[in-house]
Amino acid sequence: MSTLASPSLPLAPLSLLQIETQFRDRIWRGDISGSAPDLVISSGFNELDKALPGGGWSPCSLTELLLPAEGLGEIRLLSPSLERITRKGRNILLVSPPHIPYMPAWENLNIDSRRIVMIRVDSPIERLWVLEQGIKSAAFGAIIGWLPGISQPMTRKLQIIVRTAASLVFLFRPASAQFEPSAAPLRILLGSVRQPMLSVRLLKRRGSPIDLPIYIPLSARPFPSFMTSSATLAHA
Amino acid sequence: MLWIALHCPTLSLDWIERRFPVALIPAMAATIRKGNQVYIRQANKPAQQQGVAAHQPLATALSLFPDLVVVEHDPHEEMKALREAAYAAFRFTPHVVMQGSGLITEVSASLKLFGGLKKLCRLLNQAVATQGLQLCVGIAPTAKGAWLLAQSAPLKTVINGAGSRFRSLLDSLPIHLLASAQPYLEVIRGIGCKTLADLRQLPRGGLARRFGPDLLIELDRACGDLPDPQQWLEVPEYFQQKTELMSQVESVELIWVPVQRMIGQMCGWLSLRHAAVLEFSFILHHEYSLRQPHKSTPLHIKLSEQSDDAEHLMLLLRERLGRMEIVAPVCGLELIANQITAGTNPHLELFPTSQSEATSLNRFIEKVSSRLGPQAITGLNVIPDHRPECSQRFRPLEMSRESDASCRKAAPLASMCSSVRPAWLMEAPLELKVQRHQPVYGSPLKLIAGPERIEAGWWDDAPVARDYFIAENTLGQLLWIYREHNSAAGNNGNGWYLQGLFG
């Protein structure tokens, strides 16, 4: 602990408790999960909330979601927080989604479709520009961007802007990006085990790392009861 | 009362220099005719470096530097430049007087809003200097006093005569600054008067007899002993400003400075009217020639929300100009406020409200659509139709007003579709490969739910008859696939299509 005490401090080394009270906001301990100072928005899944720093999605940090392919349940994972945001009357910005968001399904997840603003641009530079503008404006409660080819300096730039924002910022990237460095404080690798379970591995977070993936039972809302009954292929 | 006077000693050159791009200003001199002779009235920096100086005969100046650009003294153009600068000053006070080669503004009511005299003076100076004038500034409790102080100040400096220092500052000023003393300067110097203090010590009766009553009146008004009514500058009810450029400009970067000035003028005019602009036009005028038929390129900018914020308007204009191609060299610019409305000041809110959130959404929409085009930003409308491809429509967000937002709020939630639908829809159904009677996407698909029959659209030209299944592949993707069910044609074939993904 003596390494922490700078020469200007009194000779008697401060106890750990004293140091912690003195620099409460400026140091975080590596062994517990870091806390976010701001209002977090619960992810809606208990297991995930326990693993996320601060107990939910944090508005002041960039969240990277690494996805091997669309259709694993990524929207269902975000839907409880998105639902809460639209219910508060705030808007959601989608920047270049890979497919057309199908609003009847989003409505089924209780997300108000009138609160969705979608932007379709192709060039990566324009996408980044739109993301930046969205983060800087106070208009959105959540911003979701699809940026396959983003580089590390770009993520750093985004993360710096996000620090002052009041919206959740999610960035979807391909799973291959897990081996590239990124400035996002929270990186999550999504993978499917068996529908409707989603495996969530926190590659990077503030606080101690966890290696084991978390298994999240996705809401069965889009699937009525016949989900479990195995369908038979009449004409196959 | 508190007055700030802005004196522009180099106005006879500034009005034309401001029409050049900064890097291209040539050596110039303004001339004035005295009897038969033409004299240099003022020379700019590059000309001074060549040895051209004020009061030289023109012939001497041309022999020193033959390439000198000679501008005749043009009071009309000077007034025009000053008037444009006054528009910019309106942002800080509605009380502006045009006086000779400068402006006098009354600012006592604006002190608090702009954070004190020092700050206000700096902002005002900056706003007017941005219009391309070089200024010296005087501050005093009387209009005449401020004007005299400004005239005595060196270029780009401020003499602050507010408070107790005013009398002593005024007393030390030289007499030649007084307009009514001009015919008698020789005599006054002859009787040993140099400063205003000397003049004021003389008996008033004698002064009035020798030099007329005007000198005494001016002196008393400067000291504040006599009322000094002012005629405020009045501006027309519409805004239309035109700027001529002295060079043929072909790049957007070079018209940037004049554009900034014009926007500054418009915002000053707007704040004088307590208004905000809803729609404005920016017109690039091209020089007429037979080879190119374009006389002008108009640019109409509609705002989704009124604004009187110079920075915001500049940003919109910059995005639009950046996308535009300049078809021919530009020789003039014009800015017109087409539609204005009573303005509000959104900066006075303490906490962000839904109103301010709607404002920032509109600003965002404006920003994005001015850069990427209005088709890039959309909302999605749910339409009651069973066919997936017909059940939603992109809704342009270009002009969503506050009233719109509130009626959107009031509208009932769109018809809830209770059956299973995927979060992602393909742009067009994707035909899947079939291996051993099994559709393949990445890997052979396992059907886990279905079929659900959708048969609709017989009333228009796009009828569908499909059996939908939910399928899963080994990667864990959930797919929404269908098979054409076409009993009439009898080809109940193997065509499997991917329509959506369960995100």
A14: which DSSP letter?
A: P
Mutation pick from B466, B478, B483, B499 vs chain A, by most beta carbons of A within 10 Å, is B478
Q: What are phi and psi of B96, to 5 degrees?
A: -130, 135
Q: What pLDDT does residue B106 have?
A: 93
Whether A213 contacts chain B with CB within 8 A: no
Q: What pLDDT does residue B355 have?
A: 60
pLDDT reading at A56 higher than 50: yes
Separation in Å, CA B250 to CA B26, B247, B257, B458: 19, 10, 14, 57
Q: Write down the CATH number for the domain with range B167-223.
A: 1.10.150
Q: What pLDDT does residue B405 have?
A: 43
Residue B168: partners with Cβ closer than 8 Å, 6 or more residues away: none
Among A103-107, B132-136, B459-463, which is the least confidently predicted range?
A: B459-463
Q: What pLDDT does residue A29 have?
A: 64
Among A217-221, B245-249, B436-440, which is the least confidently predicted range?
A: A217-221
Of B252, B272, B256, B270, nearest in space to B337 by CA: B270
How far apart are the CA of B427 and the nearest CA of chain A, in angstroms? 7
Q: What pLDDT does residue B496 have?
A: 87
pLDDT digit string (tens) for A161-205?
888 778 899 999 998 888 888 888 899 998 877 767 888 888 888
Beta bridge partner(s), residue A100:
B425
Q: What is the distance between the alpha carbons of residues B205 and B216, in angstroms, rounded to a whole number?
A: 10
End-to-end C-alpha distance for chain A, whole angstroms: 70
Residues 326-345 of B with CB under 8 A from A: none
Q: What pLDDT does residue A235 have?
A: 40
How far apart are the CA of B501 and the nearest CA of chain A, in angstroms? 5
Mutation pick from A102, A110, A121 vs chain B, by most beta carbons of B within 10 Å, is A102
Q: What pLDDT does residue A228 have?
A: 39
Q: Which residue has the higher pLDDT, A148 or B348?
A: A148
Q: What are phi and psi of A23, to 5 degrees?
A: -115, 45
Residues of A in Cβ contact (< 8 Å) with B417? 104, 107-108
Judged by CB atoms closer than 8 Å, whether chains meet at A121 and B376 is answered as: yes
Q: What pLDDT does residue B269 have?
A: 92
pLDDT reading at B6 higher than 90: yes
The type of residue at A92 is: I
Q: Write down the CATH number for the domain with range B3-160.
A: 3.40.1170.60
Q: Which residue of chain A comes nearest to B480, CA vs CA?
A: A71
Q: What pLDDT does residue B353 have?
A: 54
Q: What pLDDT does residue B288 have?
A: 77
Whether A99 contacts chain B with CB within 8 A: yes
Whether B22 contacts chain A with CB within 8 A: no
Residue A151: partners with Cβ closer than 8 Å, 6 or more residues away: none
pLDDT reading at A236 higher than 50: no
Separation in Å, CA B502 to CA A103, A109, A138, B448: 12, 12, 30, 13
3-state SS, residue A139: coil
Average pLDDT over residues B323-332: 84
pLDDT digit string (tens) for B152-205?
999 889 999 888 889 899 999 999 998 888 889 899 999 888 999 998 889 999
pLDDT reading at A65 higher than 60: yes
Q: Name the fold adopted by A37-221.
A: Rossmann fold (3.40.50)
How far apart are the CA of A61 and the nearest CA of chain B, in angstroms? 21
Instruction: Give, in degrees to the nearest 5, the angle at Cα A178 between A175 and A181.
Output: 145
Neighbours of B290 (CB within 10 A): 5
pLDDT digit string (tens) for B267-318?
999 999 888 898 899 999 988 777 777 788 888 888 877 788 888 899 888 8
Separation in Å, CA B292 to CA B289, B299, B321, B350: 6, 19, 20, 54
Q: Which residue has the higher pLDDT, B328 or B350?
A: B328
Q: What pLDDT does residue A61 have?
A: 85
Q: What is the distance between the alpha carbons of residues A225 and B216, in angstroms, rounded to a whole number?
A: 100
Residues of A in Cβ contact (< 8 Å) with B354? 89
Residue B55: partners with Cβ closer than 8 Å, 6 or more residues away: B39, B40
Where does the pLDDT of residue B345 fall: very low under 50, low under 70, confident under 90, or very high at 90 and above?
low
* Tokens standing for residue B215: 């000198």
Average pLDDT over residues B330-352: 74
Q: What pLDDT does residue A63 have?
A: 92
Of A200, A169, A202, A182, nearest in space to A72 by CA: A200
Q: What is the distance between the alpha carbons of residues B208 and B215, in angstroms, rounded to a whole number?
A: 7
pLDDT reading at B7 higher than 90: yes
**Residue in B378, B447, B449 closest to A227 by CB:** B449
Whether B396 contacts chain A with CB within 8 A: no
Fold matches, B3-160 and B240-348:
no
Q: What is the distance between the alpha carbons of residues B452 and B234, in angstroms, rounded to a whole number?
A: 74
Residues of A in Cβ contact (< 8 Å) with B381? 103, 113
Buried/exposed code over A55-79 (b: 16+ C-beta within 10 A; e: otherwise): bbbbbbbbbbbbbbbbbbbbbbbbb
End-to-end C-alpha distance for chain B, whole angstroms: 68
The type of residue at B351 is: F
Residues of B in Cβ contact (< 8 Å) with A138? 352, 356-357, 360
**Average pLDDT over chain B, rounded to an integer:** 84
Q: Which residue has the higher pLDDT, B419 or A145?
A: A145
Q: What pLDDT does residue B488 have?
A: 52
Among A105-114, B136-145, B349-358, which is the least confidently predicted range?
A: B349-358
pLDDT digit string (tens) for B423-458?
899 888 888 888 888 888 888 888 888 788 888 888
Size of interface A-B (CB pairs under 8 A): 184
Q: What is the distance between the alpha carbons of residues B322 and B315, in angstroms, rounded to a whole number?
A: 10
Q: What pLDDT does residue A172 have?
A: 93
Whether A233 contacts chain B with CB within 8 A: yes
Strands A186-192 and A62-67: parallel
pLDDT digit string (tens) for B30-50?
988 888 889 998 888 889 998
Q: Which residue of chain A comes nearest to B374, CA vs CA?
A: A119
Mutation pick from B364, B435, B446 vs chain A, by most beta carbons of A within 10 Å, is B364
Residue A153: partners with Cβ closer than 8 Å, 6 or more residues away: none
**Residue in A68, A103, A231 closest to B469 by CB:** A231
Q: What is the distance between the alpha carbons of residues B375 and B368, in angstroms, rounded to a whole number?
A: 10
pLDDT digit string (tens) for B407-423?
344 344 444 456 778 88
pLDDT reading at A229 higher than 80: no
Q: Which residue of chain B comes nearest to A77, CA vs CA?
A: B503
pLDDT reading at B61 higher than 70: yes
pLDDT reading at B398 higher than 70: no
Residues 188-207 of A with CB under 8 A from B: 191-195
Where does the pLDDT of residue A143 fall: very low under 50, low under 70, confident under 90, or very high at 90 and above?
very high
pLDDT reading at A9 higher than 50: no
Neighbours of A34 (CB within 10 A): 17
The predicted complex's ipTM stands at 0.79
**Residue in B363, B382, B424 closest to A71 by CB:** B424
Neighbours of B269 (CB within 10 A): 24
A213: which DSSP letter?
A: P
**Residue in A74, A134, A235 closest to B364 by CB:** A134
Residues 433-462 of B with CB under 8 A from A: 437-438, 442, 447-451
Whether B503 contacts chain A with CB within 8 A: yes
How far apart are the CA of A1 and the nearest CA of chain B, in angstroms? 44
Per-domain boundaries in chain B: 3-160, 167-223, 240-348, 367-418, 424-501
Q: What pLDDT does residue B335 have?
A: 93
Q: What pLDDT does residue A146 have?
A: 92
Whether B63 contacts chain A with CB within 8 A: no
Whether A88 contacts chain B with CB within 8 A: no
Where does the pLDDT of residue B376 fall: very low under 50, low under 70, confident under 90, or very high at 90 and above?
confident
Q: Write down the CATH number for the domain with range B240-348.
A: 3.30.1490.100
Strands A91-95 and A116-119: parallel
Length of chain A: 236
Q: What pLDDT does residue B322 have?
A: 81
Q: How far is CA B250 from the centre of its chain?
A: 21
Q: What is the distance between the alpha carbons of residues B238 and B340, in angstroms, rounded to a whole number?
A: 9
- Percent of chain B residues topping a pLDDT of 70: 91
Q: How far is CA A225 from the centre of its chain?
A: 30
Judged by CB atoms closer than 8 Å, whether chains meet at A139 and B377 is answered as: no
3-state SS, residue A69: coil
Q: What is the distance between the alpha carbons of residues B357 and B360, in angstroms, rounded to a whole number?
A: 5
The type of residue at B128 is: V
* Tokens standing for residue B116: 């004190």
Q: What pLDDT does residue A230 have?
A: 40
